[in-house]
A and B are shown apart, each in its own frame.
Chain A
Amino acid sequence: MRIKRLIIKNYRQFKQAEISFPKRHDTDLHFIIGTNGTGKTNILNAINWCLYGDEPHLSKESQTLPLINLKTVDKKGSERESEMAIEVWAEAEDHNLIYFIRKAKFLKTTSLEIERQGETFEVRYVDELGNTKIVQDESADVWVERFVPKNIREFFFFDGERLDHYFKEATGQNIRHAVFQISQLDLLENCIERKLQGILDDLRKEAGKANPKIESARTELERLKVLYEDFKKRFADFEGQIAIAKSNICEYDEKLKGVPDIIKLEEEREHNIEGLKNTKELLVTKQNEKKSYLLDAGKLVLLLPAINNTIKVILEKKNNKDFPPPIDKKVLEDVVQSGTCIICGQKVDEDSKKKINEMLLGIKTSSDSAIKLVQMEIPLNNFLEDTTHFKEQLDNYSQEIAQLEKLLSNLTERNNQIDKIMSGYNEDLVREWYSERSKFEDIRDKCQIDIGGFQVNIQRTEGELSEAQKVLDDELGKEIKVKELNKKLAFCEKSLEIARLTRERIMKETREKIENETRRQFFNLIWKRETFENIKINEDYSIHLFHKLGFECLGSVSAGEREMLALSFTLALHKASGFDSPILIDTPVARISDINRTNFGNVLCEVSTTKQIVLLLTPNEYSEELRTVLGGRASGRYKLILSSDETEAKVEVM
C-alpha cells in the first residue's frame, strides 16, 4: 500500500493543500522541501492525526494552539462553526483506493475562545463487488491497522532527527513486539493458535463428560492455564512498566545531558561547608596549640643560658666534691640539748655548745642549697632535651597547619566552582528533572525485583502444567469411550505445536534476515567502513555494533552514525517483514554531512524501488549531493511556501 494523495483543509498553517504522490519512475520517491516553520513536520502530524487522531511530532509552540487554521476561524467570525479535514488516500496493490478521512468542527465563542465541537473518522473503500463502502469508528480503525498499525507507526512515519534516540528509547521488548506485528506473526498467533486452542478446550470438555477423572484433570489443567496466563500477563505488565520507566529515564537523561547533577552538587556543597567549618575549627585549635607550645617551650629556649649555667655549676661542684658530707643534724641538736656527747658520754661546755650551734647553722645552709641543686640536675637536663626537639615539634605543627590551610583552600575553591557551575541553570527545574529521573529509576529497580518473582512462578507453573497435561492424557488414554475424541485431541495438540514452532521459526528467520539486512544497509550508508566490523541482533532484539578492534561501540558512536544504524534497522525491518506501507521521514539528513548524503541517497533510491518513500527536507538538506543522486529519480517534488504574514503555508509543485 502507498499514499496516493494527501488533502489538508484548514489544518494548522495549511488552509487548503493537496499533495499527490504519483509513481512515475521505477522508484517511488517524493520530496517535500521547506524551510523551518513552513509546515514540514505538520505534514507528518497531519497524516498521524488523520489515521490515529493525534500529533506525535508537535512542536512546543504548536501545542498551545488549536488544530484548526486560525485565519479560517477568524474569517468565519464568532459563533459560527468551521471545519477542518484531512484525507489520506491509500492505494492498494490492486490499485483500489482506500480513503481515510478525519474531520473536526470548531466554534469561536463570544469570548474568542476556540472550542472543538466534534470529530468524525471514516474509511471509504470499494468491496469485491465494486461497491463503495463507508465504515466509521472502530470498523474504520481496522482499516488503519491494515495500512500502518498504530503501535508500530514510529517505524513508518518518523523524524530523522529523533532517529539517533532510537536505541536509547526503544527496548528489546518494544522492538520484538514491533517485529512481531510488522512480520504479521500476530495473525498466526491470533487466527491459528487461538482457534486451535479453542477447539482443543472444547474437545477436552466433551471428553470430561464421559469420565469424572478426566473432568477433574481437565479442570485442574484449566485452572493452571488461567494461573499461568495471569502470571504471564502480570510479567508482561511489569515488563511494560520497566520499558516505560526506562524510556522516561532516557528522556530525562537527554534533558540532563550536559546539565550538572545539581542535587549531588548541592550535597557536595553542603558537605564542603560542613568540612570548611570543621577544618576551620581544627585549624584554630592547631594554631593555638602551636602558640601555646611557642610560649611554653620558647620560655625554656629564652632561659637556656641560665639553665646551662646551673647545670655547669652542679657539674663543677660534683667534680670538686664541694657538696658537704651528710651530717646527722639530729645528733648535734641532741648534744646541745642534753649537754652530753651521746657518742663519748662527756659533758659539753658552753664554748663547745656555741661551736656546735654555729656548725649546725652552716650545715643547714650548705645542705639545703646542695639538696636543691642535686634535685635540679635531672629536670634541668630534661629541659635541655626538650629544647633539642623544639624545631622538629614546630615543623610538625607548621605542616599540620599547612595541610589544614590547603584543605580549606581546596574546599573553598571547589565550592566556588560549584557555584559557578550551578549559576547558569534553573536549579528548581533541574532538581525536578533529577527527582523525576530518580523516581523512574526506583520504579525500574522495584519492577525488576518483582518481575523476578513472576519469572519463578511462570517456570513453576510451566512444570505443573506439563504434569497436569500428562495426568489428563493418561486419563484420556484409559477411557475407551473417548478413543475417537482422543485422536482428534492428539491431532489438535500436534497442530498447535506445529503452529507454535512455525511462529518461533519465522521469528528466528525474521531476526536473522533483519540482522543481515541491517548489516548490509549500514555498510552501504556508513562512510567509515573501515571502522566497524559487524552488527549483531540478539534474540531479545538488543542491537550491538562492533568496532574493527572487536569492542562493542554503539554507545560511543556519533549521533549521525547512530541515526544511520537506526535507519538501516528500520529499512531491514520493512524488507524482512514484507510489509509494504510507505516510509515518511522528516529531516532525514540534518545530522549527516554532505559527502555521506550520497550514500544515503543511493540506499533510499534502492529501497524506493519496492517501497514508497516521502522525504520532508529543508533546502539545506536538499544539497547538491542529494540532488545529484536522487533529483532525477523523484516522482514528485513539492515546495512549502509561507505567506508574507507567516500565517498560511502553501504547497507548490517544483
Chain B
Amino acid sequence: MTKQPDRLSIEKSERKLYDNLDNEIFAGKTRKEQFLFALAVGFKHKLKRPLETREGVFLAKDLHPEDQMILDVVAIYDTGSIDVLTNQQQVFNIAEEYAHAGIRLIYDNVNSGQPGSYFKKMELDLIGMLKPGNN
C-alpha cells in the first residue's frame, strides 16, 4: 500500500510571504487557514506552481473533513477524474501548487500600491463573481 502523506508543504523560500501577510490580511488566521485561502486564490486564477524546495506548513491530521473536501474538489476539478480521491499525495500536491501560486498573487496584490484596501477590492470581486452567469 502507498504511504499516506502526513503534511502539507509550501515553497521554503515563501514562508516569509506568509509571515509578512500575517500582519497584513491574515491577522488571527492559522497557517492552515492561510494556506487554504491561498489555494482558493491560485485556483481562481488557474495558476499552479510546482514546489522546488518543500517545507511542511501543517500536518494532515489537522485537516478537518471540510478542509479535506476543499482539497478533494480542487483535485477532482484539476484532474477531471474522481480517481484522484484515492491518491492523497496527488491531492496534496495539487493543493500545494495552487497555494504556491496563490500566496504570491495575494502578496503582490497587497503590496501593489494601488488605491483601496485588499479587502475592499476582494469584496467587490467576490460579489461580482456571485452575480448570475459568472459561475
Interface residues, chain A, CB within 8 Å of chain B?
A: 288, 290-292, 294-296, 298-310, 313, 317, 365, 368-369, 372-373, 376, 379-380, 387, 390-391, 394
Contact = CB atoms under 8 A, between A and B. Distances in A.
Contact of A294 (B43, B126, B130): B126
Given A390-B130, A391-B130, A310 B37 contact: no
Contact of A303 (B27, B28, B73, B119): B73
Contacts of B19: none
A613 to B, nearest CB: 82
A288 B27 contact: yes
Interface string B41-62: 1011000000000000000000
- Of the candidates A301, A379, A380, the one having the most CB atoms from chain B within 10 angstroms of its own CB is A301
A304 B122 CA distance: 15
A129 to B, nearest CB: 109
Given A302-B44, A373-B85, 20 more contacts: A291-B27, A291-B119, A296-B33, A298-B40, A298-B126, A299-B36, A299-B40, A300-B40, A301-B129, A302-B43, A303-B70, A305-B135, A306-B77, A308-B135, A309-B73, A313-B76, A365-B83, A365-B86, A369-B82, A376-B69
B135 A313 contact: no
A387 B135 CA distance: 12
A390 B26 CA distance: 20
A295 B41 contact: no
B72 A372 contact: yes
B65 interface: yes
Interface in B12-33: 25-29, 33
Interface of B: 25-29, 33, 36-37, 40-41, 43-44, 65-66, 69-70, 72-74, 76-77, 82-83, 85-86, 119, 122-123, 126-127, 129-130, 135
Contacts of A292: 28-29
A394 B130 contact: no
B34 to A, nearest CB: 9
B83 A295 contact: no
- Of the candidates A294, A296, A299, A376, the one having the most CB atoms from chain B within 10 angstroms of its own CB is A299
Given A295-B37, A306-B73, A313 B122 contact: no
Nearest to B65: A379
B76 A306 contact: yes
A375 to B, nearest CB: 8
B72 A310 contact: yes
A310 B76 contact: yes
B77 A310 contact: yes
B128 to A, nearest CB: 10
Contacts of B43: 302-303, 305-306
Nearest to A317: B82
Given A295-B33, A299-B37, A365-B83, A307 B126 contact: no
A220 to B, nearest CB: 87
Contacts of B123: 294, 394
> Closest 9 interchain pairs by CB?
A302-B40, A306-B77, A306-B73, A299-B40, A302-B44, A310-B73, A309-B77, A369-B85, A301-B126
Given A288-B27, A376-B72, A304 B135 contact: yes
A361 to B, nearest CB: 11
B60 to A, nearest CB: 15
A307 B130 CA distance: 14
Contact of B77 (A305, A317, A387): A305
A640 to B, nearest CB: 77
Nearest to B26: A295
